Structure 1
């Protein structure tokens, strides 16, 4: 069974983090995905999950509060 790519079609690299703003992968992770084995894909997905969680803790609340304040 093939492991689905985390790509969200929001392909824009963050200059600050170095991660894609859509899928939270690095450029090397994106380019190696198609030839990576399942174990490597699972490792990348684990990194992506950690990055998403960290971004949610650091950015999520602040962005929501700022957006609400601006309304």
Structure 2
């Protein structure tokens, strides 16, 4: 007798693109990249991070970018 085994895999979230803009310079005061506004920890292993973590990071970036822009002034 043969048993067919069916394996179910959770659907993967669509890829969430990295916000990197190839301006990899860190702001000493904030620890954020001047290009994408992420920390080194957020940048490292971006593609291996769970989708929810990537979405959380992306949600924080507009405010960070605004703060970085206001500091240039």
Q: TM-score, normalised by structure 1?
A: 0.72
Query: Number of aligned pairs?
Result: 60
Residue of 16, 25, 39 corresponding to 2:38: 25
Q: How many Å separate the matches in 1 of 2:22 and 2:36?
A: 8
Residues 27 and 34 in structure 2, CA contact (< 8 A), matched pair in contact too = yes
For the pair 1:5 / 2:18, whether they are aligned, the reply is yes
Larger relative contact order, structure 1 or 2 (CA cutoff 8 Å, min sep 6)? 2
Q: TM-score, normalised by structure 2?
A: 0.70
Pairwise CA distance, 1:45: 0.2
Matching residue of 2:11: none
Structure 2: 5+ residue runs without aligned partners? Answer: 1-13
Q: Kindly indicate which of the two structures has a greater share of residues assigned to helix.
A: 1
Matching residue of 1:67: none
> RMSD of aligned C-alpha atoms?
1.5
Runs of 4+ in structure 1 deviating by more than 4 angstroms, as ranges, are none
